[in-house]
Amino acid sequence: MNQLMIYGATGYTGRMAAEHAKALGLDIVISGRNGERLESLAAQLGVPYRVFTPDAQAAESLHGIGALLNFAGPFAQTADALMQACIKAGVDYLDITAEINVYRLAERLGAQATEAGVMLLPGVGWDVVPTDCLAMHVARRVQDPQALKVALQVAGSMSRGSALSVSEIIGAGLLARVDGLLVATPDTKPQHFDFGDGPALCAPLSFGDLVTGWHSTGIPNISMFVHITGDAFPQGDLSQLPDGPSAEQRDAHRARAVAEVIGADGTSARSVIETVNGYTYTPLAAVEAARRVLGGERRPGFETPARVFGVGFAETISGTTITDF
């Protein structure tokens, strides 16, 4: 059961992950809904493929699989059926979503997954690997941490899949973790955060870290923000967007996030993580997470990257640094 299935392998990020996993020598099966595109990619990579939709019969297509890595977004349309299929088939589930409702789903299915001996691990890309590890890192810098703020910096153009997922995130409304509970906070105002070049105005947005940060750090009060530059957030008909930025565009825009924590005594700490571009980082981190899971780094139930792989996992991806302030 050391075979990795990459679902959504013909998409922009899924293809990069499949190519990377193949180059590492992992035993992979690519899968998705488009048989013609899968057949072509499978021939290029020299790997088997399976065609199926994320529905009630999906478990039948997971025979012999140890872990499923889902790249098919928007994840609101695929995660539920694929998580249920993995629980039924005894297969660990991973994905790369930032959509908060998928994390809430994984929480709800956690007990069922534990009983089945299956791990549900959403968010093994950028977001949430760097921010989850960063939150755990900065939380250790104060005594009895009580409040956490995380801000992402999104630069450069966005892929079509990411734009559709962001629409799902916006549709979830503005949320925050308050005294351990997720609550609606529609009146949250933008705030300034320093990613290393001075204060930048960041808008509130409900990323999955509102769930992962709580489980990874135990901090009861968490809020999320994002700083968008240039043409990062597109307008209009999102289905007409290109697959994603070119290699040159990715190389031109590194990714950063900042986390600020306040302790019970009022002391605070701030740390910044910088990585290669998020679209470059995601397939590397996701495949590495899957490789580790297949190697035995796993715990049944709903989990977070920092809890499973440790606070230093984000920095195992080349080009990643954390700076404390």
Is the pTM of the predicted complex or chain greater than 0.85?
yes
- Across the chain, what does the average pLDDT equal? 94
Q: Are residues 198 and 306 in the same domain?
A: no
Confidence of residue 22 (pLDDT cuts 50, 70, 90): very high
Pairing relationship of beta strands 301-302 and 119-121 according to DSSP bridges: parallel
| Res 2 pLDDT > 70 | yes
Q: Compute CA distances 165 → 8, 95, 161, 169, 311, whole Å.
A: 14, 13, 6, 6, 26
What pLDDT digit, counting tens, does each position of 83-132 carry?
A: 999 999 999 999 999 999 999 999 999 999 999 999 999 999 998 999 99
pLDDT in tens, 155-213: 777 777 777 777 788 888 999 999 999 999 999 999 999 999 999 999 999 999 999 99
pLDDT, average across residues 243-250: 87
| Percent over 70 (pLDDT), the chain | 96
165 & 286 share domain: no
Residues 26 and 173 in one domain: no
Are residues 265 and 191 part of one domain? Answer: yes
pLDDT tens, 58-90? 999 999 999 999 999 999 999 999 999 999 999
pLDDT value at 217 more than 80:
yes
Query: Where are the strands (E) in the chain, listed by range?
Result: 3-7, 28-32, 49-51, 65-70, 92-95, 119-121, 145-154, 175-178, 181-184, 191-194, 199-204, 221-228, 255-263, 268-275, 301-302, 321-324
pLDDT of residue 165: 76
**Number of compact structural domains in the chain:** 2
Residue 207 DSSP symbol: B
pLDDT of residue 240: 61
- Hey, what are 75's tokens? 């994840």
Is the same domain home to 229 and 273?
yes
CATH of the domain at 225: 3.30.360.10
Give residue 255's pLDDT: 94
pLDDT (0 to 100) of residue 229: 74
175 shares its domain with 319: yes
pLDDT at 137 over 80: yes
Domain that holds residue 297: 3-123+282-310
User: In the structure, what pLDDT confidence band is assigned to residue 257 with cuts at 50, 70 and 90?
Assistant: very high
Please indicate, yes or no, whether residues 291 and 267 belong to a single structural domain of this protein. Answer: no
Rounded Cα gap, residues 243 and 246, in angstroms = 9
